[in-house]
A and B are shown apart, each in its own frame.
Chain A
Amino acid sequence: MTTPEKPMPDNEMEKEMSASMAPEAMEAKNDPFAKGRERMAAIGGFFSKMKEKAASMSKRVGSTISRVWGKTKSASGEVGAAIFSGDELAKRGAQFVGAKAEQADAYVTEKVDQGAKFVADKTVEGAKWVGDKAEQGGEWIGEKAEQLGNFAEATYEKGAEFVSTKAEQIKDFAQDKVELAKDVAFYAKEKTAENLAKAKAGIENRYNKIKAFGENAMMSAKIEIARRKEAYRMKMNDIRQRRLQAEFERVSQAESATSARAEELRKQKEKLAEALGLQNNLNTMAA
């Protein structure tokens, strides 16, 4: 019979873990600033991931649009004149083949119905969306404007501008979407070169606008985080400076102001002040 292993006391476990820890990990464990440093380092990774996601999304949708545009461009050049509207098709069907006329009429009716249904669906969807987003946008803008406060200095104008116009942009997007859905449905119903051109122009324009919105959202978030990071950094650096000064005073009294340790601390104070100065210089430099 084996004796069950006794659970290890917490302090023993800690000792064992410490013994197996890498020196860097130990240093991080004892450094009260380490957690904040890790949090700051993770921000870069977050933005890279978002940027990558946005880029792949734009690329995918952009490729679909390009492929469709390529197809419609080559065809509309040579057989552009042969792009008929549904009505035209019905007319021809009725004119040339009696038996086919009925089928063509049914076909046109079906397409018109489909087109109308499409418009109706998209309009309802779009209208609901306008309401939701306008409301969300209103709340959002209130919060963000408050958060930004006096942050809208020259460097940060772009982000602040995005925040202040976000609700308006979202509202416009919703209205554009309904109009675009109608243009696409109208082309599905009446396949003329003009309607095709209109739908294409609307899609292209919307693509650019959404892309710009995403880029601005990213920039705005970066600016907000930078502002928060700046405040946090200042706080941490201030604590670091206070600790260094206190240690310097303690050593100067306990040993002497000219002792090796005091001299080392004095140099560290100078180095810290210099690095903080270099950081601050960046805030006052024009782009």
Chain B
Amino acid sequence: MNKQDYIAKIKASSISDEKKNRIIAILEKNELDFNTKEEIKDILQEEIDTIASDIAGEDDSEISSETEAFSGDVAKIQAGLEEDMAYVEKEMDDLEGMAKDVDKAFEQSQIDTLKAQLTK
């Protein structure tokens, strides 16, 4: 199935018009890459969440434990990314310091040049 086939399938589906329009707008504006697919899956999940939401189960413990596990895993991944970004920030700060060192050395070279010219 290609993007056009998928758009046709979305148009012919029974999902709400508001969500259809959002999905089609995303597909028309973007390549069908990882981010686009994730965005569409989230919209479809919104639709799914409206279906049979009034039906209560006998036992919600399975949902609670799965949700806890999911939240914990997501928190770990987020913490890993925060650590990576802190590393990037530290390296960027150090690099900025080096650029400033070059700047200082360059300014000094200009002062040195002037000094040398004055002492000629």
| A interface residue numbers (CB < 8 A to B) | 27, 30-33, 35-37, 39-40, 43-44, 46, 50, 53-54, 57-58, 60-61, 64-65, 67-68, 71-72, 75, 79, 82-84, 86, 89, 92-93, 96-97, 100, 118, 133, 140, 144, 155-156, 170, 173, 177, 180-181, 184, 187-188, 191, 196, 199-200, 203, 206-207, 210, 213-214, 217-218, 221-226, 228-230, 232-233, 235-237, 239-240, 243-244, 247, 265, 268, 270-272, 274-276, 278-279, 281-287
Residue B53 contacts which of A33, A71, A223 (CB distance < 8 angstroms)? A33
Residue B112 contacts which of A84, A236, A279 (CB distance < 8 angstroms)? A84
Give 1 or 0 for each of B76-115: 1 = CB within 8 Å of chain A CB: 0110111011011101111110111111111011101101
CA distance A263 to B2 in the complex (A): 34
Q: Judge whether B62 and A54 touch: CB under 8 Å.
A: no
Given contacts A35-B67, A79-B113, contact A275 B119 (CB under 8 A): no
Q: Tell me what chain A mostly uses at the interface: helix, strand, loop, or mixed.
A: helix
CA distance A229 to B38 in the complex (A): 10
Q: Judge whether A285 and B6 touch: CB under 8 Å.
A: yes
What are the nearest 3 A-B pairs in CB distance? A191-B109, A217-B84, A221-B81
Given contacts A92-B116, A282-B40, A285-B1, contact A61 B96 (CB under 8 A): yes
Q: Judge whether A53 and B73 touch: CB under 8 Å.
A: no
Q: Knowing that A71-B106, A170-B87, A191-B108 are A-B contacts, what are 13 other residue pairs whose CB atoms are under 8 Å apart, sorted by A's residue number?
A: A32-B60, A33-B49, A36-B63, A39-B70, A72-B102, A206-B95, A217-B84, A218-B85, A221-B78, A240-B48, A247-B52, A247-B55, A284-B1
CA distance A214 to B32 in the complex (A): 23
- Distance to closest chain A CB from B4 (angstroms): 11
Residue B95 contacts which of A86, A207, A228 (CB distance < 8 angstroms)? A207
Given contacts A64-B100, A207-B95, contact A40 B2 (CB under 8 A): no
| B interface residue numbers (CB < 8 A to A) | 1-3, 6, 9-10, 13-15, 31-35, 37-38, 40-42, 44-45, 47-49, 51-53, 55-57, 60, 62-64, 66-67, 70-71, 73-74, 77-78, 80-82, 84-85, 87-89, 91-96, 98-106, 108-110, 112-113, 115-117, 119-120
Q: Judge whether B116 and A214 touch: CB under 8 Å.
A: no
| B75 nearest CB neighbor, chain A only | A39
Q: Can you spell out 18 A-B residue pairs with CB atoms less than 8 angstroms apart?
A: A43-B74, A53-B85, A57-B92, A61-B99, A65-B96, A72-B106, A92-B120, A181-B98, A191-B105, A203-B99, A207-B92, A228-B70, A232-B67, A240-B51, A274-B13, A279-B45, A279-B48, A286-B32
Q: Judge whether A82 and B113 touch: CB under 8 Å.
A: yes
Task: Find chain B residues with CB under 8 A from A222 CB.
Answer: 34-35, 38
Given contacts A32-B63, A188-B105, A191-B108, contact A237 B32 (CB under 8 A): no
Task: Find chain B residues with CB under 8 A from A271 CB.
Answer: 14-15, 51
- Distance to closest chain A CB from B73 (angstroms): 5
